[in-house]
């Protein structure tokens, strides 16, 4: 798995948590109470190829949102698509979703950022969002999104909706017991996830790191035929 620091890019530093981000934390806390089927960090890694292949199929949905075909989805395009799908999101909710996923503040979601957006839409389980999932054709992607949620829950040992450095090291140690490098690997993985450097990782940060680990931010234009 490669590093997640972008070439020439610096992720924006998070300010106060938005209502959306608080909903994400609460949703992950609830899911953590249900437990996880994963037993090791290696079991997460083994799923990378299947997850990568599944998420690349989202390119069709991405192209539907990207009305001007410039490779990015801006806030107006997001709003227009929701209106076409007859999804009742307020302007504030659309703004929150957009800003949560436009991590580089380019004023446009690239494909890997769009993957994060889709997964957040999946995670937010209220009637409006559930309707959005169906109309966006996300039904066949739910097993993939569920695996990503499961992976985060595996790392979140204390079930507080965040992942700490010690929790990542613990997860790596469970897989690599006795290996001298396991602590160093855990620290590296945590640094790759902790984009705002505040010492804890949200589900959103985890998703961005995951898209880099499986290579979704690279050579996206070559994958349309998959």
Looking up tokens 């234009």, which residue turns up? 221
How far is residue 145's CA from residue 161's CA, in Å, rounded to a whole number? 17
Q: Is 78 helix (H, G, I), strand (E, B) or coil?
A: helix
Read off the pLDDT of residues 153-210 as tens digits, 9 standing for 90 and up: 999 999 999 999 999 988 888 765 555 566 788 889 899 999 889 999 999 899 999 9
How far is residue 96's CA from residue 99's CA, in Å, rounded to a whole number? 5
Structure token digits, residue 166 = 């010690």
| CA distances for 69 relative to 18, 73, 140, angstroms | 30, 9, 25
Give the mean pLDDT of 70-76: 91
pLDDT value of residue 182: 65
Predicted TM-score of the model (pTM): 0.79
Looking up tokens 């969002």, which residue turns up? 129
Write the CB contacts of 111 (distance below 8 Å, at least 6 apart in sequence): 58, 59, 62, 71, 216, 217, 220
What is the torsional sign of CA 80, 81, 84, 88? Answer: negative
Percent of the chain whose predicted confidence (pLDDT) is above 90 = 21
| DSSP H or E stretch at residue 200 | strand 200-201
pLDDT value of residue 218: 55
Q: Between 155 and 131, name the one with better pLDDT.
A: 155
Mean pLDDT of the chain: 79
What is the pLDDT confidence band of residue 1, given thresholds at 50, 70 and 90? very low
Q: Is 133 helix (H, G, I), strand (E, B) or coil?
A: helix
Of 205, 211, 181, whose CA–CA distance to 17 is shortest? 205
The greatest distance separating any two alpha carbons of the chain, rounded to the nearest whole angstrom, comes to 55
How far is residue 18's CA from residue 193's CA, in Å, rounded to a whole number? 19
How far is residue 98's CA from residue 105's CA, in Å, rounded to a whole number? 10
What is the pLDDT confidence band of residue 107, given thresholds at 50, 70 and 90? confident
The alpha carbons of the chain give a radius of gyration, in whole angstroms, of 17
């Amino acid at each position: 798995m490669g590093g997640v620091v972008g070439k020439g890019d610096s992720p924006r530093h998070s300010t106060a948590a938005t209502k959306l981000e608080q909903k994400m934390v609460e949703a992950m806390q609830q899911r953590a109470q249900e437990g996880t089927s994963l037993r090791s960090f290696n079991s997460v890694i083994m799923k990378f190829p299947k997850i990568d292949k599944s998420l690349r199929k989202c390119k069709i949905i991405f192209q539907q949102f990207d009305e001007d075909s410039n490779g990015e989805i801006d806030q107006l395009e997001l709003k227009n698509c929701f209106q076409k799908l007859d999804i009742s999101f307020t302007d504030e909710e659309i703004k929150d979703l957009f800003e949560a996923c436009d991590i580089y503040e380019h004023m446009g979601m690239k494909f890997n950022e769009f993957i994060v957006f889709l997964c957040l839409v999946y995670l937010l389980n209220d009637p409006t969002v559930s309707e959005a999932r169906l109309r966006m054709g996300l039904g066949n992607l739910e097993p993939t999104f569920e695996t990503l949620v499961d992976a985060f829950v595996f790392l979140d040992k204390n079930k507080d909706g965040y992942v700490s450095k010690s929790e990542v090291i613990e997860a790596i140690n469970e897989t690599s017991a006795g290996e001298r490098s396991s602590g160093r690997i855990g620290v590296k993985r945590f640094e790759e996830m902790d984009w705002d450097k505040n010492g804890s990782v949200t589900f959103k940060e985890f998703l961005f790191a995951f898209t880099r680990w499986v290579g979704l931010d690279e050579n996206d234009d070559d994958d349309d035929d998959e």
